């Protein structure tokens, strides 16, 4: 019985020793594999960063703060730039080429004008815009009509109204028959709409339509002959308003000298 117990205890001890040795072996294998993987990661990091050795950490640079810079531009020395010491920058001005001053000028035997042609001869060359006989650009391009095309004569000089419009405004009680009809009263009654470019233009009465009977005094800068005849035939009268004199420096100086 004693031998049996001793054999069982020996087997148990052997089993425990073998289990302990297996645990230690697995722990050592894990630590070796972890160390190898760490070394591989360090090596990969060092290869990607361009260094051999420990891992490299990139530090984020501090953000630059904006600061207003003030400086004074000066000419030569401590002298500040003024109207009397201004000068062009070096290289911005180039001397014109001196034509026909010999071979030393650098243009060769024909002085840069070429061998033949109208512009190589003496006297005036081709006029500005000439393209050798073909249709020039200013004739090829389409033109705008009227004022947009440069026709200054087409710009309106007056705010126009017909005698028929005045008669209709008087009949509808927009205008008082006994009061004077002017550009101000026509604007307030809504007969004419003088806005924008037309707001400073004078009034001109045209003779389209018929004037109803009744004495109406019309004040305007210009009248057509037909409008005058129709207004006077209806018992009214016309009043000429002088045109506004265009301001000029000479006229203003003369007026100031006359008042002084």
Q: Is the pLDDT of residue 15 over 80?
A: no
> What are the structure tokens assigned to 122, written together?
């003496």
H/E run at residue 181: strand 180-181
pLDDT tens digits, 63-81: 666 666 665 555 566 678 8
pLDDT of residue 96: 86
pLDDT of residue 107: 86
Average pLDDT over residues 193-209: 91
Higher pLDDT, 85 or 33: 85
Give the residue among 220, 214, 211, 212 at the shortest CA–CA distance from 238: 220
User: What is the average pLDDT score of the chain?
Assistant: 79
Place of tokens 């109803």: 212
pLDDT of residue 155: 79
Q: How confident is the model at residue 31 (pLDDT cuts 50, 70, 90)?
A: low
Q: Is the pLDDT of residue 185 over 70?
A: yes
Higher pLDDT, 59 or 254: 254
pLDDT of residue 103: 84
Query: What whole-number percentage of the chain has pLDDT above 70?
Result: 67
Place of tokens 């233009």: 201
Q: How many other C-beta atoms are found inside a 10 Å radius of the C-beta of residue 13?
A: 10
Q: Is the pLDDT of residue 48 over 50?
A: no
Q: Contact, 45 vs 55, CB < 8 A?
A: yes
Average pLDDT over residues 223-229: 95
CA distance 106 to 94: 16
Q: How confident is the model at residue 204 (pLDDT cuts 50, 70, 90)?
A: very high
Query: What whole-number percentage of the chain has pLDDT above 90?
Result: 30
pLDDT of residue 247: 83
pLDDT tens digits, 120-145: 898 888 999 999 999 999 899 888 77
Q: Is the pLDDT of residue 35 over 60?
A: no
> Could you tell me the sign of the dihedral formed by the alpha carbons of 246, 250, 253, 258, in that order?
negative
Q: How confident is the model at residue 251 (pLDDT cuts 50, 70, 90)?
A: confident
Q: Is the pLDDT of residue 188 over 50?
A: yes
Average pLDDT over residues 236-246: 90
Which residues make Cβ contacts (< 8 Å) with residue 234, sequence separation at least 6?
A: 211, 212, 213, 214, 215, 216
**Report field, pTM of the whole predicted structure over 0.75:** no
Average pLDDT over residues 18-35: 59
CA distance 206 to 221: 12
């Amino acid at each position: 019985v004693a031998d049996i117990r001793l054999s069982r205890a020996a087997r148990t001890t052997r089993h425990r020793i073998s289990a302990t040795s297996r645990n230690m072996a697995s722990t050592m294998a894990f630590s070796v594999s972890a160390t190898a993987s760490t070394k591989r990661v360090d090596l990969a990091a060092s290869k990607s960063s361009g260094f051999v050795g420990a891992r490299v950490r990139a530090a984020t640079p501090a953000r630059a703060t904006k600061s207003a810079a003030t400086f004074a531009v000066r000419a030569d020395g401590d002298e500040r730039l003024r109207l009397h010491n201004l000068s062009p920058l070096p290289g911005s001005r180039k001397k014109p080429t001196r034509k026909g001053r010999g071979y030393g000028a650098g243009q060769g035997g024909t002085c840069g004008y070429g061998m033949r042609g109208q512009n190589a001869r003496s006297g005036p060359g081709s006029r500005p815009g000439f393209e050798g006989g073909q249709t020039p650009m200013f004739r090829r391009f389409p033109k705008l009509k009227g004022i947009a095309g440069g026709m200054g004569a087409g710009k309106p000089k007056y705010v126009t109204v017909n005698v028929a419009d005045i008669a209709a405004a008087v009949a509808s009680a927009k205008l008082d028959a006994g009061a004077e009809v002017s550009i101000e009263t026509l604007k307030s009654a809504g007969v004419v709409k003088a806005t924008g470019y037309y707001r400073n233009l004078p009034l001109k009465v045209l003779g389209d339509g018929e004037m109803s009977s009744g004495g109406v005094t019309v004040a305007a800068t210009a009248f057509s002959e037909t409008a005058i005849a129709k207004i006077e035939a209806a018992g009214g009268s016309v009043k000429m308003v002088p045109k506004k004199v265009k301001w000029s420096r000479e006229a203003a100086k003369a007026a100031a000298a006359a008042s002084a």
